[in-house]
A = this chain, B = another copy of it.
């Protein structure tokens, strides 16, 4: 539409921050000399170092525009928008209802009294590079002559195997004011993990990924040894998602020979998978307690797919007064509905085709409940029939439980968790759905 392409950074640290950003975006869109092409996700950052004060934290994003305006004219439009949204320069370094800057303008290099383009040090700043990576990874920075993608990839990603070294590094980052987001995993990352990492990236200054196949949560005869591992591939995914630190200990880094401390979350651990995998959740709770002591996170991210695990950890964090928030994000699914899982790779082609049957049985259950069915037994029987009719899966359990206590409910009332565990040969899959 217009011949010049520019990238504008947009930030706010005065509530309502999101609203200010949306309003500024709207005013850009409304300008007849500007066409708004794309806007990145909005990231929460702590741009100026040590700063625990939530009121001073910025939300930041980047917009791609096309425009007929030259750099100086564009800049005065941006200043106009800033002023119209109440920005004064008196408290310049502290409070900014809205902060607009030209990052790049074509591949021009400009430096005069009004504007400096590219924006100085933009290439050193995560709160510019991360959103810009989303919007236009192949744009070349005209001064340092590198693609955004390459600047992004050159960001240092640290890998720790020692719990003490990881803690020392992360605690010193934390006291410098950084908010730490943490995604604990067993590795072999898939799109479900990636969605957690992306959310962590948007909401924190520093993203930590742990990769640890925890032996204590596997029983004898389970797949501990053959659980898929591929650190190189995981590191590529981590880099792509903007991870700052990977914590990847060995079993002996995590467990001294005479270790003997166990964390149990009673009640919540007994039903569902806990009934069929004795000791599993004790292993999970213990290792997550350890990980949360090593990684002084502000927020930890878990997937809804392992709903029972997430609820148990949430309870543990509350009961043990751990200083971390937990966020549980939706299950990510393949196109045919199969919940993403590292174990899906065990499936043969035929099994893979049948595997969505679990998810489809959950949808069937939801429909029955929405239509008024209240008897758990009836819903479960229909799910079982459905699975048997449509696959060779062996059902381990189908249960309908209270969302808070995880105890079986005879009659559906309030929020329930419907959960299924089933086998194809030696491959165990789980899935679940919350129905209100």
Contact = CB atoms under 8 A, between A and B. Distances in A.
Given A52-B172, A167-B321, A322-B293, A264 B261 contact: yes
A259 B265 CA distance: 9
A325 interface: no
Contacts of A335: none
A263 B171 CA distance: 25
A337 interface: no
A113 to B, nearest CB: 39
B266 A262 contact: yes
Interface in A87-115: none
Contacts of A319: 256, 259-261, 290
A257 to B, nearest CB: 11
Nearest to A50: B175
Nearest to A316: B261
A320 B289 contact: yes
Interface string A359-371: 0000000000000
A41 B299 CA distance: 42
A268 interface: yes
A159 interface: no
A77 interface: no
A323 B292 CA distance: 11
Interface string A291-317: 001101000000000000000000110
A261 B260 contact: no
A285 interface: yes
Interface in A317-357: 318-323
**Chain A interface category by residue count:** 20 to 34
10 contacts: A174-B175, A260-B268, A261-B266, A261-B320, A262-B263, A262-B266, A263-B263, A264-B264, A286-B320, A293-B323
B264 A315 contact: no
Contacts of A285: 261
A174 B320 CA distance: 20
Nearest to A405: B258
Contacts of A293: 320-323
A260 B267 contact: yes
A261 to B, nearest CB: 4
Nearest to A167: B323
Interface string A274-297: 000000000001100110011010
Contact of A323 (B171, B259, B266, B321): B171
A137 interface: no
